[in-house]
Amino acid sequence: MNHLRKILLMGAGFLSVVLGIIGAVMPVMPSIPFFIIASICFSKSSKKFHDLLLNNKWVGPHIKRYHENNGIKLEMKVLFIFFQWAGIVCTSILFVHNILGRILMLIIAIGATIYVLSLKTAQK
């Protein structure tokens, strides 16, 4: 079972890296939260990939700040929440025509917003 957990965590880590890369080039999707998720997954499954993320010159400082419990910059929190809600609204209007689907998306967005707001805000 331990081997399966490691494989699942690595898969989630790689998926998060891909989403982070997409977020880095698409203005409607933040990237740093995905790299932080990848880092958490890799910290439990692959030291090699975890170290690779921590030593990356673009995302490493953000991940280190998060891991050292110094928090996330206020700017990143605002961007994440803004783009998350913009994505939820656009998706629910354009693609989700089922009221249950819209309610589920709303619940997930509220939960993610509460979580991001509960994280410590980094001091400049």
Q: What pLDDT, in 10s, does the model give residues 18-77?
A: 988 988 887 667 788 889 889 999 999 999 999 999 999 999 998 988 888 778 888 888
Q: Are residues 55 and 6 in the same domain?
A: yes
* Cα–Cα distance measured from residue 16 to residue 35, given in angstroms and rounded to the nearest whole number: 6
**Mean pLDDT (whole number) for 84-102:** 89
Q: Are residues 61 and 100 in the same domain?
A: no
- The angle that helices 74-94 and 32-43 make with each other, rounded to 10 degrees, is 100
pLDDT of res. 71? 80
Q: Are residues 59 and 75 in the same domain?
A: no
**Mean pLDDT (whole number) for 92-101:** 90
**Backbone torsion region of residue 69, taken as left when φ is above 0, otherwise alpha when ψ lies between -120 and 50, otherwise beta:** left
pLDDT of res. 122? 82
Backbone Cα Rg of the chain: 16
Specify the higher pLDDT residue, 70 or 89: 89
Specify the higher pLDDT residue, 1 or 105: 105
pLDDT of res. 118? 87
Q: Are residues 64 and 77 in the same domain?
A: no
pLDDT of res. 33? 83
Q: Which residue has the tokens 């803004």?
A: 82
Q: In the predicted model, is pLDDT for residue 80 greater than 90?
A: no
Domain final residue, candidates 22, 40, 68:
68
